[in-house]
Amino acid sequence: MENGDLAIHRATGSDADAVAGVRLRSFAAALPRVRRAHTGGEVRARLREVAVPGRETRAAAVQGAVVGMMVPDGGEPDRLYLDPPWRGRGIGDRFVRLAERRRPAGSALWSFQIDGPALRLYERHGFEAVERTDGHRNEEREPDVRYVWRPGGSAGAPQGVGLGAAPGPVERRRSRRGDRNGGPRH
């Protein structure tokens, strides 16, 4: 893939099925032993009816084919997934940089502890692990880690940033206040 071949755009209704497919394939490949809190049909409906039309969902496409997706939560990366064959090609980096530009004061997110590639992605971008849990507060009941990013690299709670979510395969499934987004975040 050449850099010029990749385009990140705001997802539209016509992207919803492809975005959902990326999310489902990514989760299955990256997190095969993690409990699925939602069926494939529920994930597709949530993306089609809520995330794509109302949450500024971003799709990464190469020659018109969706290969990655990110659902921002107030500018923070919430759900970030890459189609398995497209991991390791810099697309996750582009999504994280986009999220950093949208939240220049800093951000926070959650990821599953088992998702090594996602953790490395965030750490490469200066996110610092500030909390680890046994997963009792997320829908999957999977141990997770909270990351914080601040310009200049000082962790701690960023100004004006509440608990976010993370990418896991790159995405995250979590909500400490109940699942306000209708599904997990990674």
The CATH number given to whatever domain includes residue 98 is 3.40.630.30
| C-alpha distance across the termini of the chain, in Å | 26
Q: What is the mean pLDDT of residues 117-141?
A: 94
Q: How far does CA 55 lie from the centroid of its chain? A: 13
Q: Is residue 116 part of a domain?
A: yes
| pLDDT, position 99 | 86
Q: Is residue 159 part of a domain?
A: no
The domain total for the chain is 1
Spatial neighbors of 110 by CB under 8 A, at least 6 apart, are 138, 144, 145, 146, 147, 163, 164, 165, 166, 172, 174, 185, 186
* Backbone conformation region of residue 2, classed left if phi is above 0, alpha if psi is from -120 to 50, else beta: beta
pTM of the predicted structure, to 2 decimals: 0.77
Q: Is residue 23 part of a domain?
A: yes
Q: Which two tokens stand for residue 117?
A: 């590639």
The span from the CA of 32 to the CA of 186, in Å, is 14
Residue-number span of the structural domain to which 21 is assigned: 3-149
Q: Is residue 165 part of a domain?
A: no
Q: Which two tokens stand for residue 34?
A: 């993690």
Q: What is the mean pLDDT of residues 149-154?
A: 77
pLDDT for residue 113 is more than 70 = yes
Mean confidence (pLDDT) of the chain: 81
The span from the CA of 13 to the CA of 164, in Å, is 25
Q: Is residue 47 part of a domain?
A: yes
Q: What is the mean pLDDT of residues 4-10?
A: 90
Q: Is residue 62 part of a domain?
A: yes
pLDDT for residue 136 is more than 50 = yes
| pLDDT, position 4 | 63
Q: Is residue 141 part of a domain?
A: yes
pLDDT category at 107 given cuts 50, 70, 90 is: confident
Closest CA to 81 of 118, 116, 48, 112: 118
| pLDDT, position 71 | 86
| pLDDT, position 112 | 94
Q: Is residue 175 part of a domain?
A: no
Buried b (16+ CB within 10 A) or exposed e, 70-91: bbbbebbbbbbbbbeebbebeb
pLDDT for residue 157 is more than 90 = no
